[in-house]
A and B are shown apart, each in its own frame.
Chain A
Amino acid sequence: MSPNPPERLERRSIISGIGQSDVGRRLGRGELDLTLDACLKAIGDAGLTRDDIDGLATFPGAGIGTSGFAGPSTPEVQDALRLRLNWHDGGLEGPGQLRAVFAACLAVAAGLARHVLVYRTVTESTAQGEGGRQGIGGAGGGRGVPRFSGVMQWTLPYGAVSAANWLAMIAQRRMNEFGLTREQLAWIALNGRRNAARNPKAVYRDPMSLDDYLAVRMISTPLCLYDCDAPCDGSTAVVVSHADYARDTPSTACHVNAIGTALRGRPSWDQFDDMTTFSARDAAASMWERTELRPSDVDVAELYDGFSILTMVWLEELGLCGKGESGPFVEGGSRIALDGAVPLNTSGGQLSAGRLHGFGMLHEACVQLRGEGGERQVRNTPEVAAVAAGGGPIAGCMLLTRGLS
């Protein structure tokens, strides 16, 4: 069943540098332009030059999804930086958005590369402004609407077209099983907005009240507009290096302690055995199987909030609160505040800081471990950070530590 190797090879890797482009709504800049900004910052932050970079990875790779979703391909970035690579990787399938980072960690551990540049770029906000992400069906409908094969044929005929619909059914199920309320769920959004006010790069920084949350329009019950993340433009990059570079990086090395990659239930949005957890359950379990650290060791948590309900699932499945208890745990917002027991989504998360699609969570975890959070820095610089990305049947998570633990 669970792999049990004598050595957790991901521990041979560190994040030696981080970089992020401008982040915003409709920046109107090209995806490669933003990507190069982020990549060059990350390389410099790691104390390296492009000549040192011998690995390159991204999620998901070009040509996938709606306009503005995928970002540039690794060949485009390789050529733009004239990189000479020993290892390269891009792809959609795997344990969520962080799959590119996990692959880089293992490539470094295997000696296939020494310094891997990993990036994720979105220009969904600009794409929407150009009409690049429209509804399905278009004017008229009926005959002439394309038909679908594959997995989408089971949901599109019923207008279940978005992860918002599929995850709304998780939220409804949790309301039924655990008594979750909208007033509790709201705190994922409210906490994010509270932290975004301290993040100059966040796309939404105006205060949000519980009344604002409860009054905004529904998307798919019980999820409202503020339960859905905010499309943005931006690129995030990290350099994954061999751990023996930790002494030499001018930044504070963030050590990879464990990665969580499992998918043990059926890989399906509507056939997964437990509709209250999805594969966050498996990813989290596999991560804890690979470390001596415990949930109580986590000092800061950056947990994917593409939809608010996903953060609730991650809180529980990572053991940061009890099973089914995330509602009461987040209610009122004190436990998840910057000075709470589990500081959560400290840069504002995707709900308020923008949908950087998992890599924003990773970047912020490093910022916090390095003590560079400025106004939003968690006190007593955190030593252990939990990072999670994905939802439904797509999920991955990791533990990062400041120094070796």
Chain B
Amino acid sequence: MTAPGAARGPAVRVLPRLDGTNRFFWTSGEDGRLRFLRCTACRHYVHPPVPRCPYCLDGSMVPEPVSGTGVVHSFTVNHQQWIPGSDPYVIGLVTIAEQEDVRLTTNLVDCAPDDVHIGMAVEVTFEQAEDVWLPLFKPAEQLP
């Protein structure tokens, strides 16, 4: 469902090329859960995916589900026709609830652009496009 005044995203979704490193992330939404790599030693979440933990340089990196909640760190309403045929859409930068230095660039949906604000509590919702489940974010049903 699209909120009044904004599209859910650009007219064309330019999709990621899936590979052994990113497939877990981009298909994570198939079961409705958002996942990030997490270090088995120091327990930090890491994004984007890398083969070795940049915090402790130890441990193994394993995808783990997170709550899917977060906070809007910043946002912008795009009007420019970079992608022809696009109505205005909201690009958001969301910090995940579990760790303040993990952010996702995303689209903020199910919310009028005028109601979006920095600090807004949001939760993940997935949009499937071919073999990719894009994590988008909408206003949280309840406070995280």
Give A residues with C-beta under 8 Å from B: 135-139, 141-143, 145-149, 151, 153-162, 164-165, 168-170, 172-173, 176, 217-223, 270-271, 273, 275
Contacts and interface: CB of A to CB of B under 8 A. Distances in A.
Contact of B74 (A155, A162, A173): A173
A165 B81 contact: no
Given A153-B22, A270-B103, A135 B81 contact: yes
B12 to A, nearest CB: 3
Given A147-B16, A176-B118, A136 B82 contact: yes
B14 A147 contact: yes
User: Interface on chain A toward B: helix, strand, loop, or mixed SS?
Assistant: loop
Contacts of A137: 10-12, 14, 83-84
A185 to B, nearest CB: 14
B17 A153 contact: yes
A157 B80 CA distance: 16
Contacts of A172: 74-76, 118
A157 B14 contact: yes
Contact of B78 (A151, A157, A220): A220
Most A CB within 10 A of own CB, among B73, B93, B101: B93
Contacts of A162: 80, 82
Interface of B: 9-17, 19, 22, 47-48, 73-86, 89, 91, 93, 101-107, 113, 118-119, 129-130, 132, 134
Contact of A157 (B16, B73, B103, B118): B16
A149 B80 contact: no
Nearest to A159: B10
20 contacts: A135-B84, A136-B82, A138-B84, A141-B83, A154-B48, A155-B105, A157-B134, A158-B9, A158-B91, A158-B134, A159-B10, A159-B91, A161-B14, A169-B76, A176-B119, A217-B79, A219-B78, A221-B76, A221-B77, A275-B73
Nearest to B86: A159
A158 B127 CA distance: 11
Given A147-B16, A153-B17, A220 B74 contact: no
Contacts of A271: 47, 101-103
B91 A160 contact: yes
Contacts of A275: 73-74, 93
A55 B99 CA distance: 48
Top 8 nearest A-B pairs (CB, nearest first) are: A159-B10, A141-B12, A137-B12, A168-B76, A153-B16, A147-B17, A169-B74, A156-B14
A235 B138 CA distance: 46
A159 B9 contact: yes
A165 B15 contact: no
Contacts of A220: 76-80, 91
Most B CB within 10 A of own CB, among A138, A159, A165: A159
A143 to B, nearest CB: 8
A60 B69 CA distance: 40
B15 A145 contact: yes
A280 to B, nearest CB: 17
B82 A161 contact: yes
B93 A169 contact: yes
Contacts of A217: 79
B75 A136 contact: no
Contacts of A153: 16-17, 22
Given A148-B16, A158-B91, A158-B106, A170 B74 contact: yes
A220 B91 CA distance: 9
B142 to A, nearest CB: 24
Nearest to A153: B16
Given A141-B85, A173-B73, 15 more contacts: A143-B130, A145-B14, A149-B17, A149-B19, A153-B17, A159-B78, A161-B14, A168-B76, A172-B76, A217-B79, A218-B79, A220-B78, A220-B79, A220-B91, A221-B113
Given A135-B83, A157-B134, A176-B118, A145 B12 contact: yes
